[in-house]
Amino acid sequence: MQWILLSVIYYGLYGVNALDYSNYPAIQRFQEYIQINTTTGANLTPAVEFWTQLAEEQGVPINVYEYGEGYPIVVLKWAGQDSSLNSIQLNSHMDVVPADENEGWSYPPFGGVLAEDGNIYGRGTQDMKSVSIQYYEALSGIKANNITLLRDVYMTLMPDEEVGGEDGMIPFLQSDEFSAMNVGLELDEGTSYPIPIIPLFYQDKVVWQIKVDCHGVAAHGSTFPATNTTATGKCRNVIDTLLKFRDEQYIISTSASIFDAGVYTSVNLNRLNGGTANNIIPSLVSLTFDIRLGTRVNEDAFQAQLEQWIAEAGDNIMLTYISKNPQSPATLVSSSNPYWIAIAEAAQTLRIPIVPIVPPGSTDARHVRLAGVPAFGISPMANTPMLLHAVDEYIPAETFLRGIDIYEQIITNLANIPGSETSTDPSVYIVKTAL
């Protein structure tokens, strides 16, 4: 793998795009995976078959578990020398957010096109099919190079991260199958960054999604009821209050460090539904807000404030929590955490800047930490525009290939931490307060 790394560094430095990336087996596998439409809620059987074939090619065991009908969880095991030690879990998710090529995609979103500019386009190239393939290629390279791993390493692929993990990670963490894996550390997704750093998530912001149903008088469109008696008027009160809070938090975010999005709470009105005809005043208008709580927020106090705001907006307003996850604890990023030391040493060996941050969003890692297992999120995509969930999502081929080498070093370091250096209780590397 090192000759690939040297080539990637050379061409990245000098701007030469002479490598024929299309001949790389890793890129071909990546393209094939992108071409499988795994939009959340889609039939994931083709993706399971894809991973089954890859497991067979490497001669590693694969298991498929299903805790919610139609939501398969795929687990590949790469055995180490001592299964009594806590294992390393490399997690990713198969599902991707919807993509419509009529929205302005330059290439079909499920085409996996390697363009002339050296970029690989498609839904999931950043979030997070690239990471899944990079894990696999890194582990295959470790095996091919006869590198010994002390600890077992598991690849896990989840079916529904994009909608909260209710049928994937959450029940999996409660299962006997997960318990048997004896996980000491989980690696999960990070993000791309348009600056020369690789962010490492050590904590996630908690996800609260709420639906507010505003009920009011229904009448002919020519009538003129008082605004505060209408569904739209009551919803306006809700919107005004929550967007005022949003503006306050936005001001805080403008002065926040890019390394800590945990200092502010984000609020976005993402759906507004109501009305049946142009000449009827609607009796019901519904609002859906996506809220990501800051890591310093007291959940009970925020819930009380939120419910007070809704109550003050008018009568006959119903608040429903679509998602209301507990606050995510943080994984230690200090010399007292041997897993962090192993990653930091890998970064030093590779001469790459891996920087601990709290991201603005959330990943399956929040559920893992709540289950008592430390987790870090890292996707090696430095100097790459942040295009997760965006039109024309892409990753440069050279960045993708370099990521394989980065994971190979990180996985080797993590899986070879001596048992004497880690606690048998992985929860000691988690703290429940903001760092």
* CATH number reported for the structural domain that contains residue 216 in this entry: 3.30.70.360
- The answer for 282, left when phi > 0, alpha when psi is -120 to 50, beta otherwise, is beta
- Domain end residue (candidates: 308, 324, 340): 324
DSSP assigned state of 240: H
Same domain as 320, residue 198: no
The reported pLDDT for the residue numbered 101 is: 86
Instruction: State the CB neighbour count (10 A cutoff) for residue 34.
Output: 26
Domain count, the chain: 2
Same domain as 423, residue 376: yes
Same domain as 103, residue 36: yes
3-state SS, residue 269: strand
Enumerate residues 6+ apart whose C-beta is below 8 A from 298.
Answer: none
Same domain as 263, residue 198: no
12 touches 398 (CB < 8 A): yes
Same domain as 259, residue 174: no
The reported pLDDT for the residue numbered 158 is: 98
Structure tokens at 417: 């931490």
Q: For 122, phi and psi rounded to 5 degrees?
A: 150, 155
Structure tokens at 268: 């976005």
- Domain end residue (candidates: 286, 308, 324): 324
Catalytic sites, residue numbers: 95, 161
**Average pLDDT of adjacent 10-residue blocks, the chain of 435 residues:** 37 46 96 97 97 98 97 98 98 97 94 96 98 98 96 98 95 98 98 95 95 96 96 98 98 94 97 96 98 95 98 98 92 97 98 96 95 98 96 97 98 98 98 65
The reported pLDDT for the residue numbered 19 is: 65
The reported pLDDT for the residue numbered 253 is: 97
* pTM value > 0.75: yes
The reported pLDDT for the residue numbered 16 is: 37
Same domain as 166, residue 72: yes
Q: What distance in Å separates the CA atoms of residue 387 and residue 96, rounded to the nearest whole number? A: 13
Torsion of CA 351, 150, 179, 202, to 10 degrees: -10
126 touches 190 (CB < 8 A): no
The reported pLDDT for the residue numbered 221 is: 94
Same domain as 48, residue 194: yes
Domain span including residue 304: 206-324
Same domain as 70, residue 194: yes
> Across the strands, what pairs with 355?
199
Same domain as 297, residue 414: no
Residue of 61, 74, 78 whose CA lies nearest to 415: 78
Same domain as 148, residue 25: yes
